[in-house]
Structure 1
């Protein structure tokens, strides 16, 4: 069985040390709805973060 992950939305925003807490809470809460959330530092600007929403 092949698992397909679809990117629904991607947003660049100002990095904050507590952003991971929001992403963690969203992942725990909405996992059953086949949604997954990601957070990464922008490789070009370390003061920006990239927040991505996926459908699994």
Structure 2
């Protein structure tokens, strides 16, 4: 059985060292609702982060 991951939303935000804490609590709290959250540094601007919401 194949698992399909769908991107629901993506936003570029100012990077902060504590952003991972928000992503972590969202992932732990909402995984039962088939939601997953991701955070990555922007390749072009390391002061920006890309926050993505996925439906699993």
Matched positions, count: 56
Tell me the TM-score normalized by structure 2.
0.99
Q: What is the CA RMSD across the aligned residues, in angstroms?
A: 0.2
Q: Which ranges in structure 2 are unaligned for 5 or more consecutive residues? A: none
Give, in whole Å, the separation in 2 of the partners of 1:41 and 1:10: 13
Tell me the TM-score normalized by structure 1.
0.99
Counterpart mapping for 1:1-56 below 5 A: 1-56=1-56
Q: Which ranges in structure 1 are unaligned for 5 or more consecutive residues? A: none
